[in-house]
Amino acid sequence: MTTNGRLLVDRLLPPGLPGSPDALFSVRLLAVVLVAALATFASFLVLHLKVGNHRLAIAQLAATTVTAALLVALRKGLPRAPIAHGVIVLVNAQICLVSALYGGVRLPTLAFFAVTPLIALMTVGRRAAVVWLAVGVSAIVALTAAQAAGAPFPAPPPPNRWMDVASLTILVVVVLTFAASHEALSRRALEALRAANEELARSRSEAELANAAKDRLIATVSHELRTPLTGAIGFARLLDDAKLPAPHAEHARAALASGETLLALVNDILDRAWLAGGGLELHRLPFDLHRVLDEVVRVGAVNAGDRELDVVLQCQAPRFVTGDPVRLKQVLLNLVGNAVKFTPKGTVTLCVAPADGRLRFSVVDTGVGVDAEVLPALFEPFMHGNQATTGGQAGSGLGLSIAKAIVERMGGDIHVDTEVGRGSTFWFDVELPATTPPVALTPHSAHRPPLRLRVLVVDDHAVNRLLAVRFLEQLGARAVAVPSGSAALDALGAGDFDAVLLDCEMPEMDGYEVARRIRAAEPAGKHLPLVALTASALPEDRVRAKDAGMDDLVTKPFDPEQLGDRLAAIVQRPA
């Protein structure tokens, strides 16, 4: 069918007809069937008048009129199924009438019974096709039985060559028209499907670009927040370690806890984007579990403020284990912080004990508990499970969902036991094998041997540069600080260093380029330890650092213990 033909079919349909592509295809095909039926009935009307079959001419006139009315009904927007059944009834009635008036089952007209199920299949559906097939078979059986019983069917009219030729011609034209219309409409439906798929592909591409832009924005904002947080948390930690008088020590601890809470929120936002893209990484390294637990409890106690609330630790786990200390601390900070938030008074207890070859971490509180209807969605993003019962307190709504995702990456699962008005217990089991600590992991910095290293610090941010120097001095190292990559290369050319701390994001020459130049100029057999410092905590940053020749990567903000562990381990590592 030509384009004009397709437009003609559409002119028979209601304007702006809604529906799925399949439904529109069936409606268009029904319009073609009605036009073909109208042309067939009108043609047979003329032929019967020509040969003097007035009774059949009247029947054809009635069929033509009803078919025209069905076309008008289709144009008016009446449902497709009744119209399709109507035209099928007309066709079957004409077949039965011709057979009853002229020869019963001896006429070839009965072959038209095979057409009506096809019309039903194309315009209504398979069930309707089966029904009309059964009707056609039943009609043939009834006519055959009646004729076998001696029913007085009139004799067929004498052969009329022109009637036979005209009938055959009309049948061929109708079949070809129907087939051509079906092919054209199928092609049109295929084109519509192809256009829809192309639009879907464009939408998907735009969504992926938007998602990538969102991830870049989150990473950029995270970097910009981590840079000042490095100084704020770092100097608060130095004040906390300085053994200040009681009031000032309390202020320092509060500032440190607030900074770490803000850092946890930044990590949660960034991690949510990573989890959505499947990019969250875990690392396995030996670490001091007791120190991680102490830090979590300390932050929880500060966040409890002056409420009648105790945050305590019960630990029966080995001191040194292998796992990801950063991610474990993030999970525990979220669980303990959530418990502190929703426990007006009483106790929040962090318990760690062996359980079936793993370690079980439990956070037990005496708070308000969680309503039963909230439990199924408790670990969904942006869910504030207890907001209605705690006077509207709420956080980012990300903590529990991220904690659950991290624990699942660690091979465990978070569970919750709760009772409204009595409190909750959040717990999970993960595998953290006990390990023998290397020299770099002595329990506290007070007992750590001084590093005795000469370290070059390269950072364009003055506050972070000063902080790194103070941390290194606290660890017993001697530090030289420079503000740029070119100054770092000059310093390395003028003196010997045992290690270099390189900020990755610097103007003119970033840390990656500095590392590449250091490695390119390094004499054979020499290997200067290079540690990347970055506020951008994306997984690809670790890959970039390794490709540039760096030995390790430390994410800002960092603490003296973490920095000392990394430096001692790298310096002891064979080149």
| Residue ranges per structural domain of the chain | 3-158, 286-437, 445-572
Name which of 480, 460, 482, 471 is nearest 535 in CA terms.
460
Mean pLDDT value of segment 13-38: 74
Q: Which of 3-7, 36-40, 99-103 has the highest mean pLDDT?
A: 36-40
CA dihedral for 378, 382, 387, 393, sign (positive or negative): positive
Largest distance between two CA atoms of the chain:
126
Among the residue ranges 66-70, 101-105, 366-370, 456-460, the one predicted with the least confidence is 101-105
Q: Is the pLDDT of residue 397 over 60?
A: no
What confidence tier does 383 reach under pLDDT thresholds 50, 70, 90? low
Q: What pLDDT, on the 0 to 100 scale, is given for residue 443?
A: 47
Secondary structure (H, E, C), 12-39? CCCCCCCCCHHHHHHHHHHHHHHHHHHH
Q: Which residue has the tokens 């929703």?
A: 342
Q: What pLDDT, on the 0 to 100 scale, is given for residue 121?
A: 82
Q: Is the pLDDT of residue 388 over 80?
A: no
pLDDT cut 70: percent of the chain above it: 82
Q: What is the mean pLDDT of the chain?
A: 81
Query: What token pair was written down for 240?
Result: 């906390």
Rounded CA separation 241/248 (Å): 12
Q: What pLDDT, on the 0 to 100 scale, is given for residue 323?
A: 92
Name which of 448, 504, 503, 501 is nearest 479 in CA terms.
501
Q: What pLDDT, on the 0 to 100 scale, is given for residue 393?
A: 45
What confidence tier does 399 reach under pLDDT thresholds 50, 70, 90? confident
How far does Cα 326 stand from its chain's mean position? 25
**More reliable by pLDDT, 571 or 9:** 571
Rounded CA separation 198/169 (Å): 43
Q: What pLDDT, on the 0 to 100 scale, is given for residue 159?
A: 60
Q: What pLDDT, on the 0 to 100 scale, is given for residue 426?
A: 95
Statement: 445-572 belongs to CATH 3.40.50.300? no
Q: Is the pLDDT of residue 16 over 70?
A: no
The alpha carbon torsion through 95, 96, 101, 102 (nearest 10 deg) reads 50
Q: Is the pLDDT of residue 79 over 70?
A: yes
145-171, pLDDT tens digit by residue? 877 777 776 666 666 666 566 666 766
Give, rounded to a whole angstrom, the gap between the first and last alpha carbons of the chain.
77
Element (H, E) at 13: none
Q: Do domains 286-437 and 445-572 have the same CATH topology?
A: no
How far does Cα 85 stand from its chain's mean position? 45
Q: Where are the alpha helices (DSSP H) in 103-160?
A: 115-123, 126-148
Q: What pLDDT, on the 0 to 100 scale, is given for residue 268?
A: 74
- The CA-CA-CA angle for residues 126, 128, 134, to 5°, reads 105
Q: Which of 14-18, 74-78, 513-517 has the highest mean pLDDT?
A: 513-517
How far does Cα 121 stand from its chain's mean position? 39
Among the residue ranges 46-50, 333-337, 396-400, the one predicted with the least confidence is 396-400
Name which of 128, 135, 99 is nearest 114 in CA terms.
135
Q: For residue 450, is the peptide bond before it cis, meaning its omega torsion is within 30 degrees of 0?
A: no
SS3 286: strand
Q: What pLDDT, on the 0 to 100 scale, is given for residue 498?
A: 92
Name which of 95, 100, 31, 32 is nearest 63 in CA terms.
95
Mean pLDDT value of segment 480-503: 93
Q: What pLDDT, on the 0 to 100 scale, is given for residue 174?
A: 63
Q: Residue 105 carries which DSSP code?
A: G
250-275, pLDDT tens digit by residue? 888 888 888 887 877 777 777 766 66
How far does Cα 7 stand from its chain's mean position? 42
pLDDT cut 90: percent of the chain above it: 25
Q: Is the pLDDT of residue 438 over 70?
A: no
Q: What pLDDT, on the 0 to 100 scale, is given for residue 178?
A: 63
Kindly write down the DSSP assignment for every residue of 393-425, as one continuous string: ----S-HHHHHHHHHHHTT---EEEEETTTEEE
For domain 286-437, the CATH superfamily is Histidine kinase-like ATPase, C-terminal domain (3.30.565.10)
Q: What pLDDT, on the 0 to 100 scale, is given for residue 387?
A: 42
SS3 369: coil
CA dihedral for 464, 466, 467, 473, sign (positive or negative): positive
Q: Is the pLDDT of residue 229 over 50?
A: yes
Count CB-CB contacts under 10 A for residue 259. 22
- Phi (first) and psi of residue 14, to 5 degrees: -60, 140
Kindly write down the DSSP assignment for every residue of 432-482, as one continuous string: --B----GGG-S-GGGSPP---EEEEE-S-HHHHHHHHHHHHHTT-EEEEE
**More reliable by pLDDT, 287 or 437:** 287
What confidence tier does 1 reach under pLDDT thresholds 50, 70, 90? very low
SS3 553: strand
Q: In 192-289, where do the E strands start and end? A: 285-288
Rounded CA separation 260/248 (Å): 18
